[in-house]
Structure 1
Amino acid sequence: MAETADELPLLRRRRVAAYGMCVRDGQVLLARVTSPDGGERLWTMPGGGLEHGEDPLDAMTREVEEETGYQVEAERLLGIDSRRRSLREPGARIDFHALRVVYAVRIVGGDLRHEVGGTTDQAAWFDLDEVSSLSRVDLVDAALELHRTTPPTGRIARE
């Protein structure tokens, strides 16, 4: 007999990641993340998960360069976006918590290029007014809101 969702074990998972929000001349730098099977492609902020013991600022600069080819320098911490999701995987329910540290950055070197063999397959600049029409992850909207409002707590107000 198949187990119901309530009978499946509940696992808790947390992912801490850091991202660089680069805006210049009315455009924002984004990277396109691909699903493991290559079927889904969504735009996201350049950045990614921290390695064990890694500082978020160091992780952000490493990840942005890996995904875009640019060396960046943080100008300021924009904030931290915290999201929880209920996910399913074979044989378990997942209570997933994403903790996403977002920095405002500026480019200090490098040239735009696409990542090869990573989790993203493309990097590009988009006009800020074009972003709402892109297929994107919710982090893009959260980072843009942090950039736009610069909340003193570093946290987006949620209803």
Structure 2
Amino acid sequence: MHKELRVAAYAVCVRDGQMLLARWVARDGGKRWTLPGGGMDHGEDPYDTVVREVEEETGYTVEPVALLGVDSMRRTHPRRLGAPVGFHGLRIVYEAHVTGGELRYETDGSTDMAAWHPLDEVSSLDRVGLVDVGLALWRERPGTGRVTGIPEHPADAGN
């Protein structure tokens, strides 16, 4: 079986009781809210990745202020040519504060929208599991940088 590793960095941005999310567009056209962030380029530092990705997806400049934790997820899914792939996503999650820029939508990327959502409404959004992980890390701040008991969403594989 082919193996695929994707390392990515994401931001939990909370301000005035609202959370910044980006709407991810899956390959099948489905749309779900996710944390702003994304895949690391070869040789790129995760800190720089989260700053770059948040700006690309939301228009905001951010300053990561704390490393909240790391989420690891695995699944098997078919590749484009039909052969199965063992996918492993390693997701580095930072708390970040907006320091500049203006809210805008990404064009020609993996997201099509960005918006602030009241914290008490996030659980009712159509979202990927990473949002729940990020919120739990932000609220609990576990010393291990790991939360357990949050179910994975099947559509998380590319996010």
TM-score, normalised by the number of residues in structure 2: 0.90
User: Does residue 122 of structure 2 align to residue 124 of structure 1?
Assistant: no
Distance apart, 1:11 and its partner CA? 1.1
Per-residue CA distance 1:46-100 (angstroms, 9 max, x = gap): 0000000000000000000000000000110000001111212333111111000
Per-residue CA distance 1:136-159 (angstroms, 9 max, x = gap): 111101101101110001111349
Partner of residue 28, structure 1: 19
For residue 80 of structure 1, give the secondary structure of its aligned residue in structure 2: strand
- Give the distance between the partners of 1:88 and 1:36, measured in 2 at CA: 13
User: Does residue 126 of structure 2 align to residue 135 of structure 1?
Assistant: yes
CA RMSD of aligned residues (A): 1.2
Higher Cα Rg, which structure: 1
Give the AA of the match of 2:45.
D
Q: Sequence identity, in percent?
A: 57
For residue 43 of structure 2, give the secondary structure of its aligned residue in structure 1: coil
Partner of residue 81, structure 1: 71
- Give the distance between the partners of 1:130 and 1:71, measured in 2 at CA: 25
Gaps of 5+ in 1: 1-9
- Give the distance between the partners of 2:59 and 2:82, measured in 1 at CA: 39
For residue 138 of structure 2, give the secondary structure of its aligned residue in structure 1: helix
Partner of residue 6, structure 2: 15
- Give the distance between the partners of 1:91 and 1:110, measured in 2 at CA: 42
Partner of residue 93, structure 2: 102
| Large movers: runs of 4+ above 4 Å | none
Partner of residue 30, structure 2: 40
